[in-house]
Every structure is written in C-alpha cells, then in structure tokens.
Amino acid sequence: MDQDKSLATSSLIIANLYYLISKEFDRKRAQTICEDISSIIEILPFQKEHIIASFNSKFSDKEDGMNHFVALSYNCQLILTRNKTDFKHSTIIVKTPFEYLKIMK
C-alpha cells in the first residue's frame, strides 16, 4: 500500500461503487465520484489468487473473502465494514465505521 495514503479499498469495491452510483445518477457523475475517491485513497488490485483463496476459505460471503485476501496481501491493518459477521474468519482486525470513529476520538 502507498505510504502516503492511509486508506485503501479493492478495485472490486470501486467497480461495485461505480455500478451502484450509476443506477442513481448518470454514468459521467458516477465516474467523477469514483475518480474523486481514487484520488484520496489507494486502489488495491484484485487478482486471481484472491479469488482462489476466498473460494478455499471459510468465508461464507466469497466477495467479502476476496476483499479480505486483497487486504491481507497488501498488509492492511484494519477492515471497515457495515457487516462484521461476514468477516468472522478474518485474520485482520474488523470494525464498523461507527466503532472506528469511536476509537479515533
């Protein structure tokens, strides 16, 4: 992960975000939002080994498992999610955004 950026997400999340935003707004607006996000956080590449690791893991939600293995391969220290139960097999600390904000106070 880039030392200048303390936040990161997987390319899979950016793809999902673009899709969701483009359902609410036009594609140009969705692109602009994703570009803006990409300018302030690191986008970690999503690779075949992350998919295979997830399929071979105990993660019931394989997409969350894939994101876990992306984070693991880039030495991320924390995963933020609204659904911690899908990350019960994570070897990385998992917090909700609310829990994280309470820590940061």
Q: Let me know: does 44 contact 70? Beta carbons within 8 Å.
A: yes
Q: How far is CA 72 from CA 35, 59, 90, 92, 104, in A?
A: 24, 14, 9, 7, 22
d(CA 47, CA 82): 24
Structure tokens of 67? Answer: 């994101």
pLDDT digit string, tens, across residues 16-62: 999 999 999 999 999 999 999 999 999 999 899 999 999 999 999 99
* Single pTM value for the model: 0.82
Please compute Rg for the chain using Cα positions.
Answer: 14
